[in-house]
């Protein structure tokens, strides 16, 4: 379930007075930018070119990976947490992600690589080997899974699951089941 953030009071208590609150105030509510010398947070998000966040310079590290997956980017994440002193991470998934039901794109993918000089067998094997890492069934579930993985890796870091709705260019909280 998505929770909209239309005013400052919509921010859940656990994220108030944190860089997550600032991210939402800057992006969704067009708050004026503060000045930053050091990053206050890390944002893990998809490579999709339709996602452009409104943020001040130096406010955050941004790591983009297909489907906002931490696979293959654990070292840069760890670098930011350890040497950058990051204590807050936002995991941002989005509507219309092409990593959802990735198998549907296999033929187009293989054909595209073949057009770049890859042999068809090599391109197909590459897809079959790599796609399971980035495949998503349900985008919300995938973001929650990545959030939980990050929380288990970095016990002293606040990790928030967010959703970027491409159609309105706003960020939403993903409500987590607490059972």
Which run of H or E residues covers position 108? helix 106-114
Give the pLDDT score at 179.
44
Is residue 86 within 8 Å of 41, Cβ to Cβ? yes
Is residue 105 within 8 Å of 53, Cβ to Cβ? no
Task: Determine the average pLDDT of the residues in 16-27.
Answer: 98
Placement of tokens 């970027």 in the chain: 164
Domains of the chain: 2-100+136-174 (3.40.1050.10), 101-135 (no CATH)
Give the pLDDT score at 178.
55
**CA–CA separation, 126 and 122 (whole Å):** 6
Residue 145: pLDDT band with limits 50, 70, 90: very high
Share of the chain above pLDDT 70, in %: 99
Residue 22 has pLDDT above 60, yes or no: yes
Chain centroid to CA 59: 16
Share of the chain above pLDDT 90, in %: 82
As a whole number of Å, the end-to-end CA separation of the chain is 15
**Side-chain half-sphere of 166: how many Cα atoms within 13 Å?**
11
pLDDT, averaged across the chain: 93
Which pLDDT tens digit goes with each residue over 102-114? 889 999 999 999 9
Which pLDDT tens digit goes with each residue over 127-136? 999 998 888 8
Residue 72 CB contacts under 8 Å (≥ 6 apart), including other chains: 65, 133
What global pTM score does this model have?
Answer: 0.91
């Amino acid at each position: 379930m998505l929770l909209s953030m239309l005013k400052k009071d919509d921010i859940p208590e656990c994220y108030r007075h944190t860089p997550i609150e600032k991210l939402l105030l800057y992006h969704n509510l067009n708050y004026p930018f503060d000045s930053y010398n050091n990053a206050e947070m890390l944002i893990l998000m998809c490579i999709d070119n339709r996602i452009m966040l409104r943020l001040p310079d130096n406010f955050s590290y941004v790591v983009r990976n297909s489907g906002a997956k931490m696979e293959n980017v654990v070292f840069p994440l760890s670098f930011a947490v350890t040497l950058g002193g990051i204590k807050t991470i936002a995991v941002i998934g989005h509507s219309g992600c092409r990593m959802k039901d990735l198998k549907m794109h296999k033929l187009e993918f293989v054909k595209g690589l073949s057009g770049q000089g890859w042999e068809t067998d090599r391109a197909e094997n590459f897809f079959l080997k790599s796609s399971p890492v980035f495949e998503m069934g349900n985008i919300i579930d995938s973001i929650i899974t990545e959030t939980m993985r990050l929380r288990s890796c970095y016990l002293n870091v606040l990790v928030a699951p967010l959703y970027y709705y491409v159609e309105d260019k706003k960020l939403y909280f993903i409500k987590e089941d607490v059972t």
